């Protein structure tokens, strides 16, 4: 396959073209990913983000991977929405530790109107600390997206999770189109989109190709693309199904290939290593950064699952010569200039 002809973001990728990228010899794939990455982002710089569960458990959705689903027997108890002040204390701690984006997640199908005033206060408080703000609250109406935008929300996370064809095998309480509808509401409100998914759920490479294709052919690429490796949790559908089987952990080379293809097809996006990183080897993470990943979640916990931890990250970054992202995120700087 010839080298990438254009490094400008394009939204007309075909599945055949994405398949061809996955099939490249590994060294050629990494070369193309690095070429795309360096054309749009500073090398050796990684954005530091923190994720806080502001409302844990009791979600009515039946996502097969999620320990917070009310249908899961994972031991996660339903809690109320956190107090605004408690959220801001956590945000201040994250800022002091060097986080550049503070992400707040609530285990909801969708937020209720009565929740909006507290969410608005959280956004305003975190923004005042100088960090980017991100929320993931489930599905949104146009009106709710507008309220979050007016409050100053920078990013909204709403993952498509997997390929359109595989989606109903993972979630039955909402459709793939429901996901796209919320993304449209977020875009319509003028909020940046954070949208990715999960690999290692027993899907095929064809599903991973379909997952990347769905993202790379959106009218506008997500500004952030989190790529999660499934963390199998006992008591969840997928956790019980995949526990102890070869499918429970995706091969690291295949995971890195997925990261690299995401970087090539969505060159201007931030590609984030998200859940599952705590079980990756240092070599696997190094390859993922080489493939174009340039954002991570810091700390020892992601919502309800473990994370690598600041000490391990600091040690790995020191050995790799990686430093926190300097200055404005490139995508945001580009938008300001437009």
| Residues tagged active-site | 59, 63, 66, 103, 134, 194, 272
Structure tokens at 65: 């991977």
Any idea of the CA torsion for 165, 167, 170, 171, to the nearest 10 degrees? -140
**335 touches 59 (CB < 8 A):** no
CB proximity list for 55: less than 8 A, separation 6 or greater: 79, 80, 81, 82, 105, 106, 107, 108
The CA distance from 179 to 332, in Å, is: 24
Handedness of CA 198, 201, 202, 207 (dihedral sign): negative
**63 touches 171 (CB < 8 A):** yes
Tally of residues, the chain: 338
Phi then psi dihedrals of residue 280, to 5 deg: -80, 145
Structure tokens at 180: 């796209």
Give, in degrees to the nearest 5, the angle at Cα 213 between 105 and 138: 20
**289 touches 252 (CB < 8 A):** no
């Amino acid at each position: 396959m010839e080298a990438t002809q254009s490094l400008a973001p394009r939204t007309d990728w075909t599945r055949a073209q994405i398949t061809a990228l996955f099939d490249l010899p590994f060294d050629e794939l990494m070369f193309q990913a690095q070429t795309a990455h360096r054309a749009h982002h500073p090398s050796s710089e990684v954005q530091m983000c923190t994720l806080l569960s502001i409302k844990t458990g009791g979600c009515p959705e039946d996502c097969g991977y999620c320990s917070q689903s009310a249908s899961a027997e994972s031991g996660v108890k339903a809690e109320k929405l956190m107090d605004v002040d408690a959220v801001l204390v956590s945000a201040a701690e994250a800022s002091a530790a060097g986080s550049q984006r503070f992400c707040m997640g609530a285990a909801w199908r969708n937020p209720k109107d009565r929740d909006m005033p507290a969410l608005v206060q959280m956004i305003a408080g975190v923004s005042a600390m100088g960090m980017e703000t991100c929320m993931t609250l489930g599905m949104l109406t146009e009106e709710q997206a507008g309220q979050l935008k007016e409050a100053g929300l920078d990013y909204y996370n709403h993952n498509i999770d997997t390929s359109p064809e595989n989606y109903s095998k993972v979630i039955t309480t909402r459709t793939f189109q429901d996901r796209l509808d919320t993304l449209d509401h977020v875009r319509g409100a003028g909020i940046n989109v954070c949208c990715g998914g999960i690999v290692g759920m027993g899907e095929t490479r064809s599903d991973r190709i379909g997952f990347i294709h769905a993202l790379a052919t959106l009218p506008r690429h997500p500004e952030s693309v989190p790529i999660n490796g499934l963390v199998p949790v006992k008591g969840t559908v997928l956790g019980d199904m995949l526990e102890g089987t070869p499918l429970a952990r995706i091969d690291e080379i295949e995971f890195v290939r997925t990261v690299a293809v995401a970087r090539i097809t969505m060159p201007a996006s931030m590609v984030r290593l998200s859940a599952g990183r705590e079980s990756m080897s240092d070599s696997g993470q190094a390859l993922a950064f080489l493939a174009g990943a340039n954002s991570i979640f810091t700390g020892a916990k992601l919502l309800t699952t473990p994370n690598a931890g600041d000490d391990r990250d600091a040690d790995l970054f020191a050995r790799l010569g990686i430093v926190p992202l300097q200055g404005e995120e490139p995508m945001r700087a580009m938008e300001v200039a437009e």
